[in-house]
Amino acid sequence: MIIMLNRKQPKYSQRDKQRRGAEFEKEFRNSLSYFNLWGHKLECDGYNPQPFDFILTTKGGACGVELKCTQSFMLPYSAIRGSKSKGKKSQREGLTEFESKIHTNKSFILVRVLNDTTDKIFVVPWAKVKDDVCGPKRGSINLLDYPATPIPWIHIGNKRVINLRFFEEVHNEV
């Protein structure tokens, strides 16, 4: 008799998901200066949601960055679409509008996959997934189709920071 073990990831509450996302944003923000990057965190004013998380300035110019933290290697489109209530802009509209205003295709979704066995950061160019995410179909982004940081964390002095050298390399390739 073969016994199948259920290897599903444990369920996290909405509060746990928000906490993990906030920690990732804080770690990202704290890592920028170590790589000579400048980032502006977009804040929500309570009435208008933030269109995406950061405007990041690099040697290659400005880019919009949306940060996501998930347990699996599949990121559902709905995680980026957001809720469109009362005429407010969603993240997908914010990234698309940002790209059209600065006339570039250099916006990214940085996705941290964090579970019991994995801690990786994937760089997903918005231009490659925009049509699928903005379209009417349901689906998910397969993160394994995109580059992941070979070493997501490095130590500089006594600080643990996100390895953003890899992000710069991908940013310059696009």
Highest averaged pLDDT of the listed ranges 82-91, 125-134, 153-162? 125-134
Indicate whether 167 pLDDT > 80. no
The mean pLDDT value for 106-125 works out to 86
The mean pLDDT value for 131-146 works out to 88
Residue 119 CA to residue 145 CA, distance in Å, equals: 17
Tell me which long-range contacts 150-156 makes (C-beta under 8 A, separation of at least 24): 152/112, 152/119, 152/120, 152/121, 153/119, 156/34
- The DSSP bridge partners found for residue 112 are 69, 121
- Banded pLDDT at 24 (limits 50, 70, 90): confident
Compute how many other C-beta atoms are within 10 angstroms of the C-beta atom of residue 55: 18
Indicate whether 159 pLDDT > 50. yes
The mean pLDDT value for 20-30 works out to 86
Compute how many other C-beta atoms are within 10 angstroms of the C-beta atom of residue 76: 14
Q: Indicate the pTM of the whole model.
A: 0.78
Q: Is the dihedral of CA 102, 165, 145, 55 positive or negative?
A: negative
Mean per-residue pLDDT over the chain, rounded = 78
Of 15-19, 45-49, 91-95, which gets the smallest average pLDDT? 45-49
Q: What is the largest CA-CA distance in the chain?
A: 62
**What pLDDT does 1 receive?**
47
The second-level CATH assignment, the architecture, of 15-173 is: 3-Layer(aba) Sandwich (3.40)
Q: Supply 105's token pair.
A: 């295709």
**What pLDDT does 157 receive?**
77
Q: What are the residue boundaries of the structural domains of the chain, listed by start?
A: 15-173
